[in-house]
Structure 1
């Protein structure tokens, strides 16, 4: 009985391992919106590769052509997904041009299928890239789509991402190895110098109008702020000062009267600015992107 039990256990483990290999999540991000059938077409292609695929949406509301916001949403989200998850991100103003279509593998074991146009800027820094392969469209392209030049999201990215997530192809079969480098968008990294913390405004909390920065806990700690301290804040777009003022560093929105500004740490533990019960971004005409910077010091 013991050899039989061992054999059954081995077979069970093999089946379980095979099932896990076939069940990696496929997560989609685009700037397509949901007003037409573009996203549904991508999901249809993926489902056609394997009806067992688990397909999820990151967002399809990236502003049109906004590569930077796509880069941020990937960074904001990816680390919370299990290793092996395949992300397909299609913000592709250069569709049909010389830009490369790639799959990046990260140190965390995630995969990103995307145009190499800056979308991987922040993922490269936060998760680290171990290898980048250019998609071989002679192999990894939806059959019958060779004369379609403007919907690579469906014909190349969704198809390749689904094949990778479903275990139809390994990463090695995506295409030729390019190394570990990717196109990057320049921006102000979080830094402390001479009593001033500098950083970027990568994104807005769009629902409430709060202004998020990339100034993390470790960088902010060099300023040694305590709750109740007044911070002097300057927000710039390029070289133009858009906002300048003082506000308390607070634990919660309710720490200040309604309508008053405050500095706080958001859910990602990055320094942020808000109005209690109001939109900081709308009131002070603040936006986000690589050209938006902030300077903070204790008053």
Structure 2
């Protein structure tokens, strides 16, 4: 996250130097083996050659709306107010699903299909207003016969025009009352048991991340050295359970042993020191994965801060 903060700061300097007020950040499930992402960037360049364009990721698993939603939440708050995000994970392209622009209370903008992609940023940053993209006014000229590449023809074009100041948010289209949201287990403390969701896996190391924040751990007075009973469920059926200490660092346990810790987003996570927890125990992530955690014994260390 330190790297993201430095990138955001550098982005602010670049925007000031270029005279632009906003950056454009792209996310897709396209990969980079063909020319799809380059085509989107070409559309943005055609709108404004001085527009700063950045990549969030183009490695979202195909059709995985949930992960696209999570990656926006993971990064958006580290970008300056006014940044425009274009996210295209769109298995329903060409269908009746709506194309929208979200303005958050934090002053960020998100251009995307309305298919659940905005579930987390709407909660995290707050909803100021939602507008449906008016395709008659905000579509790449000459693309009217194209039905399967809205990332290029609609989202990159609208996002670039918004970021470059060619159009205002109010000109993107009519207001909508709400967004489509993906249901999942919110993080709660219930009678001494922490309950939450497993939104994502640490793809590099196999650590299991939850949505349980440090504030809920503090309510339960969880301290480093406490022993936790962890139960992981898929579709409400237990697939793994066991005990592990709550630790500040991976080295607090022997190699290959499990631990609970706070990840870079200050959310409860599980790992094997120098191992792959998810692969070892066949754990996945998504709206149908949940976790239950309780304290079984107390240690003597100071509480997490």
TM-score by length of 1: 0.92
Q: Residue 72 of structure 1 corresponds to which residue in structure 2?
A: 70
SS in 1 for 2:288: strand
CA distance in 1, matches of 2:212, 2:16: 41
Q: Indicate whether 1:168 and 2:166 are aligned.
A: yes
- 2:244 matched residue in structure 1: 247
1:86-101 aligned at under 5 Å gives the runs 86-101=84-99
The aligned counterpart of 1:228 is 225
Contact 1:23 1:52 in 2 (8 A): no
Provide the C-alpha distance between the structure 2 equivalents of 1:258 and 1:29, rounded to a whole number of angstroms. 36
1:106 is the counterpart of 2:84:
no
Q: What corresponds to 1:287 in structure 2?
A: 284
3-state SS, counterpart of residue 289 of structure 1? coil
Find the counterpart in structure 1 of residue 126 from structure 2: 128
Structure 1 residues 213-265: Cα deviation after superposition (integer angstroms, max 9, x where no partner): 00001112122111111100000001221110000000000000000000000
Contact 2:21 2:82 in 1 (8 A): no
- Asked if the contact 1:136–1:176 (Cα under 8 Å) also holds between the matched residues in 2, the reply is yes
Query: TM-score of the superposition, structure 2-length normalised?
Result: 0.91
Give the Cα–Cα distance (whole angstroms) in 2 for the partners of residues 102 and 172 of structure 1.
Answer: 12
The Cα shift of 1:176 comes to: 0.8
Kindly indicate whether residue 52 of structure 2 is the aligned counterpart of residue 54 of structure 1. Answer: yes
Aligned residue in 1 for 2:153? 155
Partners of 2:137 and 2:277 lie apart in 1 by: 49
5+ residue gaps, structure 1: 1-15
Cα gap change, 1:261/1:139 in structure 2, threshold over 3 Å: closer, same or farther? same
Partner of 1:298: 295
Q: Which residue of 2 aligns with 1:206?
A: 203
Distance 1:94 1:150 in 2: 9
1:21-60 CA deviation, whole Å, 9 max, x = no partner? x341000000000111000000000000000100000000
Paired with 2:285 and 2:87, the residues of 1 have a C-alpha distance of 20
Instruction: Give me the whole-angstrom Cα distance separating, in 2, the residues matched to 1:63 and 1:98.
Output: 23
Structure 2: how far apart are the matches of 1:169 and 1:239? 47
Which residue pairs with 2:215 in the alignment?
218
What is the RMSD computed on CA atoms of the aligned residues? Answer: 1.3
Q: What SS class does the counterpart of residue 290 from structure 1 fall into?
A: coil
Contact 2:244–2:259 (Cα < 8 Å) also in 1: yes
Cα distance, 1:178 vs structure 2: 1.2
Q: Secondary structure at the match of 2:158?
A: helix
Residue 4 of structure 2 aligns with which residue? none
Choose 1 or 2 for highest CA Rg.
1
**Per-residue CA distance 1:84-129 (angstroms, 9 max, x = gap):** 0000000000000000000000000000000000000011100001
Aligned length in residues = 282
Shift of 1:191: 0.1
Q: Which runs of 4+ in 1 moved over 6 A?
A: 16-19
